[in-house]
Amino acid sequence: MPEDTKLASETGQLKTIDPQPLYTPADLQGWSYDRDVGYPGDFPFTRGVQPTMYRGRLWTMRQYAGMGDAEESNKRYKYLLSQGTTGLSVAFDLPTQIGMDSDHPMAMGEVGKVGVAIDSIEDMERLFAGINLEKISTSMTINASAAILLALYIAVARRSGADVRKLSGTVQNDILKEYIARGTYIYPPRQALRIITDMFAYANENVPDWNPISISGYHMREAGCTAVQEVAFTLGNAIAYVDAALHAGLDVDKFAPRLSFFFNAHNHFLEEVAKFRAARRMWARIMKDRFGAKNPRSLMLRFHTQTAGSTLTAQQPENNIVRTALQALAAVLGGTQSLHTNGFDEALGLPTEEAARIALRTQQIIGHETGAANTIDPLAGSYYIESLTNEIERRAHLYLEKIDALGGTLRAIELGYIQQEIQNAAYDFQRAVDHLESVVVGVNRFQSEGEKSIPIQRIDEALEGRQVERLRALRQRRDKTAWESALRAVADAATQGSNLMPHIIHAVESYCTVGEISDALRSVFGEYHETVII
């Protein structure tokens, strides 16, 4: 059998892992409870990274939000906080994500559409007005321009009088998955990795409770990969980040404890529970055996989970409440550290206030009414769960071996290998749906006639004009000498190889914009253009 065909067969890339009708102890031959499962808070952390898990404290309940301008998003954050959310999660619009100001010609029609528009420190101040940044944990879903958004957050905290060393949260900052599955990159991969390692070094010394990266399998799963591929490719990316940081001279036991991960909670309930357990165990062993990490916190895979947006349907959207609840429960039973639940209307538009409230209540019901949090890793010892955990780990390791054989994740991306594997899995899933081999309730079976319409969140079309006016007014009144000097310092640091973060923070405090700072880095690093592989 050819090597690639054997790998495809062994990893089960085209479908979920086929279950046996019945599982018994015979399915766990060679398996050791002490070695492979152990206790919560102990290596290899299969049962969770904390000894008490949710008996000590429930997961952080986040709701991903951002729409229009900073004022509108600030209102939604304050509403969610009033309803019991315990962490903020910021969505940025596409121009912000790819380092373009709101008045850039390519930003036209996209300002504030899929997240909040942030151009300057003044926007960031409006975004968090009235919110104590020392008291709240903030996650920012931003990648190519992550260094600038973290700089803005730090600068706003300073202005508000907060102690920067007490800031907690995460910036996604996972650029490799952008080249694989999402596309909001700016710079070539090697230069992008340099920015990330600068952020690691700066955060370690200056913002010790901040997670400077959230290594994300979520978007690869949304693009169509399987559970096994999600684990393998996420950990493959993580290995590349650790390698880059070590190459930059960082101490593994200083930066690794602040690495965090971001996974998808998909529809196959028990497979998802096992996926989280397998990923945690694999990472512990990778960090110990491959990188020689000694600090127990370096071995812990801490992760945020979001329910699967790609499973939500525009048909019978109320069904999405059920899908989201089951996906969220899988994340909880799998041991997530924080969780976002999607709004039932997200296949149609940005979530309405009602949809966001129902999504948050879903988490609260799981946490306070189901009993799922009363005991740690309640499915441990199940013949099926343990067998599935082992099988996901085995198949994911085969992928990691293939990636290593290709020369590592960066080379595998350049060759298009990872992208092609995901595309194949996505094609086969859609083919199964089209041929009624996989059922999507309300879509290819159990349809309803005359479905009722539901309210859809609309963004004010006048918002873009107001945002552009504010941006241009800022440019008119700022100190020209100060911002030009600050931008030169950013470009010089990029050229000379010194840490970029202090210079970017000074630039945003000098009223340089997101687009201007990104352009200063473009002038040195260039831009990445995807190679089309036929």
The CATH number linked to 271 is: 3.20.20.240
| C-alpha dihedral sign at 276, 277, 279, 280 | positive
Q: What is the mean pLDDT of residues 506-526?
A: 98
Per the domain annotation, does 186 fall within a domain?
yes
Predicted confidence (pLDDT) at residue 10 exceeds the cutoff of 60:
no
Residue 523 lies in a domain: no
pLDDT at 466 > cutoff 60: yes
- Alpha helical stretches, state H, 441-479: 463-477
Task: Categorize the per-residue pLDDT at 15 as very low, low, confident or very high, splitting at 50, 70 and 90.
Answer: low
List the domain range (segments joined by +) for residue 71: 3-45+57-367+377-434
**Is residue 327 domain-resident?**
yes
pLDDT tops 90 at residue 65: no
Q: Are strands 303-307 and 137-141 parallel, antiparallel or unpaired?
A: unpaired
Please list the alpha-helical segments (H only) found in 92-226.
94-97, 121-127, 146-160, 176-177, 189-206, 218-222
Q: Is the dihedral of CA 26, 29, 35, 36 positive or negative?
A: negative
Q: Is the dihedral of CA 518, 193, 307, 338 positive or negative?
A: negative
- How many residues in the chain? 534
Instruction: List, in sequence order, every residue forming a beta bridge with 305; answer none if it has no partner.
Output: 263, 339
pLDDT at site 449:
86
299 occurs within a structural domain: yes
Q: Which of 148, 159, 155, 161 is nearest to 119 (CA)?
A: 148
Kindly state whether residue 170 falls inside one of the protein's structural domains: yes
504: in domain: no
Residue range 199-205: average pLDDT?
97
Q: H-type helices in 342-457, by residue range?
A: 353-369, 383-406, 409-414, 417-434
Could you list the beta-strand ranges (E) of 56-121: 60-65, 87-91
Average pLDDT of 520-526? 98
Residue 5: the pLDDT is 45
Q: Tokens for 345?
A: 């209307």
Q: How far is the CA of 529 from the CAs of 173, 233, 356, 524, in angstroms? A: 19, 22, 36, 16
Q: Is the dihedral of CA 156, 159, 160, 166 positive or negative?
A: positive
- Give the separation between CA 232 and CA 534, rounded to whole angstroms: 24
Is residue 472 pLDDT above 90, yes or no? Answer: yes
Q: Distance (Å, rounded) from C-alpha 64 to C-alpha 305?
A: 11
Q: Domain for residue 454, yes or no?
A: no
> By C-alpha distance, which of 142, 54, 62 is closest to 339?
62
Q: How far apart are CA 356 and CA 521, in angstroms?
A: 37
Give the C-alpha separation, 149 to 494, whole Å.
17
Mean pLDDT score, 367-379: 97
The sign one gets for the Cα dihedral 137, 140, 143, 144 is: negative
What does the angle CA 531 – CA 403 – CA 255 come to, to the nearest 5 degrees?
A: 95
Q: Is the per-residue pLDDT at 436 higher than 80? A: yes
Residue 3 reports pLDDT greater than 80:
no
pLDDT bucket at 13, cuts 50 / 70 / 90: very low
| Percent of the chain surpassing pLDDT 70 | 96
DSSP assignment of 270-323 equals HHHHHHHHHHHHHHHHIIIIIT---SGGGG---EEEEE-GGG--SSSTTHHHHH
Is the per-residue pLDDT at 187 higher than 50? yes
When the pLDDT of each residue in the chain is averaged and rounded to a whole number, the result is 94
Residue 134, sorted as left (phi over 0), alpha (psi -120 to 50) or beta, turns out to be alpha
> Is residue 39's pLDDT more than 80?
yes
pLDDT exceeds 80 at position 398: yes
Q: Note the pLDDT tens digit of each residue in 119-176.
A: 999 999 999 999 999 999 999 999 999 999 999 999 999 999 999 999 999 999 999 9
Question: Could you tell me the two tokens for 461?
Answer: 């079309």
Full strand arrangement of the beta sheet holding 303-307: 210-211, 168-171, 137-141, 87-91, 60-65, 338-340, 303-307, 259-265, 213-216
User: Do the Cβ atoms of 380 and 265 come closer than 8 Å?
Assistant: no
- Count up the domains in the chain and report the number: 1
* CA 82 – CA 206 distance, rounded (Å): 31
Indicate whether 123 belongs to any domain. Answer: yes
The pLDDT of 468-491, averaged and rounded, is 97
- pLDDT for the residue 2: 45
Compute how many other C-beta atoms are within 10 angstroms of the C-beta atom of residue 131: 15
Give the strand pairing for 259-265 and 303-307. Answer: parallel
Task: Tell me the pLDDT band of 16, cut-offs 50, 70 and 90.
Answer: low
pLDDT at residue 9 tops 90:
no
DSSP class of residue 28 equals G
Cα angle 472, 474, 478 (rounded to 5 degrees) comes to 125
| Of 459 and 399, the one with more pLDDT | 399
pLDDT band of residue 8 (cuts 50, 70, 90) is low
3-state secondary structure of 88: strand
Residue 135: its pLDDT value, please?
94
pLDDT of residue 316: 96
